[in-house]
Amino acid sequence: MFSKLQKIKESILEFFIRGSGILIILFVVLIFLFLLKDSLFFFKSYPLKDFFTQKKWLPISEPPSFGIIPLLLGSIYVTFFAIIICVPLGMGCAMFIAEVAPSFLRNILKSFVEILAAIPSVVLGFIGIVWLGPLVKKIFSIPTGMCGFTGSLLLAFMALPTIISISEDALRSVPYTYKEAAFGLGATKWQTLWRVILPAASSGIIAAIMLGIGRVIGETMVVMMVTGNSPIIPSSILEPLRTLTATIASEMGETVRGGLHYFALFSVGLILFIITFIINFLADLFLHRSKK
């Protein structure tokens, strides 16, 4: 039989194992509560309505104006264009890897996608400053290359690994019998891919796109470095703008701890947290549906 000591040891270990599981939930709750707590301080002295309807973000003017609209629009603009660029590319690449490429080519392509995923965002931001920004400036002959479009291009690039790997998984998990049935009816490989496999993998692909959106909205360094950092409502993607993430990153260092501006940035963080929470939750629903 087991000694008493062994039993005690076992139950202590079990306690720690269970505790770790629960700690994960606690972290999410803590993140939410810390953001909420400081946001409530903000909304005590600044009306919630103004936060969502004011069209100007002027944190240090007198009186200050904390309208989240320009920042939200900045994020939406940049994300929209990045997704428009990277979804067709990512889908095409995923289809090529999953169904067309021979196995040696598949492995090469997959390692390149892994390399891309490994490049730190600050390095891509740096590339944006020294190379892509000036290039965009020249091509569109605009006053500055540090604009939304440059950011969108880099973000599209960064979202590719997420979109490619999840779509590829979705395409590959379509049962082989579907394919056989299509071939049996005389369909070509392309017809099978386009009309049978793609629709069958659609919920996994939707999940891939949503996770890509989540990745783009949450990205900070690249947008802070290349989108020009100007918190005004952009009239076109070729103008400087500023996203929610970049606002927190660039202003937090200069605020007075405990001031209105400081708390305002936590409210921006809370909005970001809620947006990404919803996106990831929905993406997970789609992923589960595709697994069934």
Site for another protein in 40-79 (CB under 8 A): none
Among 107, 112, 143, 236, which residue interacts with another protein (rule: CB under 8 A)? Answer: 112
* Integer CA distances (angstroms), 183 to 188, 195, 200, in order: 7, 12, 15
Which of residues 217 and 238 has its CB atom nearest to another protein in the complex?
Answer: 217
Q: Shortest gap between Cβ of 191 and another protein (angstroms)?
A: 6
Amino acid letter at 111? S
Binding part of the chain for another protein, among 45-53, 60-68, 166-174, 265-273 by CB under 8 A, reads 265-273
Q: Is 284 in the site for another protein (CB under 8 A)?
A: yes
Binding part of the chain for another protein, among 49-57, 59-67, 83-91, 201-209 by CB under 8 A, reads 83-91
Among 8, 40, 84, 122, which residue interacts with another protein (rule: CB under 8 A)? Answer: 122
3-state helix, strand, coil in the chain (%, to 5): 80, 0, 20
Residue 146 region by backbone torsions, left for phi larger than 0, else alpha for psi between -120 and 50, else beta: beta
**230-235 LR contacts (CB < 8 Å, sep 24+):** 231/57, 231/70, 231/71, 231/74, 232/56, 232/57, 232/70, 233/55, 233/69, 233/70, 233/73, 234/70, 234/73, 234/74, 234/77, 234/148
Q: Is 100 in the site for another protein (CB under 8 A)?
A: yes
Q: 210 with 279: CB under 8 angstroms? A: yes
Which of residues 80 and 126 has its CB atom nearest to another protein in the complex?
Answer: 126
Residues 211-240 that bind another protein (CB under 8 A): 211, 214, 217-221, 225
Q: Is 209 in the site for another protein (CB under 8 A)?
A: no
Residues 178-207 that bind another protein (CB under 8 A): 188-191, 194
Among 71, 95, 206, 264, which residue interacts with another protein (rule: CB under 8 A)? Answer: 95
Q: What is the residue whose two structure tokens read 């993406």?
A: 283
Q: Is 15 in the site for another protein (CB under 8 A)?
A: no
The CA-based dihedral angle spanning residues 88, 89, 93, 99, taken in that order and rounded to the nearest 10 degrees: 20
Which of residues 234 and 245 has its CB atom nearest to another protein in the complex?
Answer: 245
Q: Shortest gap between Cβ of 63 and another protein (angstroms)?
A: 25
Core vs surface per residue 238-276: b (16+ CB within 10 A) or e: bbbbbbbbbbbbbbeeebeeeebbbbbbbbbbbbbbebe
Return the ∠ at Cα 31 (arms to 162 and 60), rounded to 5°.
95
Q: 78 with 152: CB under 8 angstroms? A: yes
Q: Is 130 in the site for another protein (CB under 8 A)?
A: yes
Residues 18-37 that bind another protein (CB under 8 A): 18-25, 27-28, 30-31, 34-35, 37
Among 8, 10, 44, 175, which residue interacts with another protein (rule: CB under 8 A)? Answer: 10
Among 182, 206, 208, 248, which residue interacts with another protein (rule: CB under 8 A)? Answer: 248
Q: Shortest gap between Cβ of 138 and another protein (angstroms)?
A: 17
Residues 150-179 that bind another protein (CB under 8 A): 157, 160, 164
Question: How far is it, in rounded angstroms, from Cα 252 to Cα 155?
Answer: 23
Counting residues that bind another protein (by CB under 8 A) gives: 86
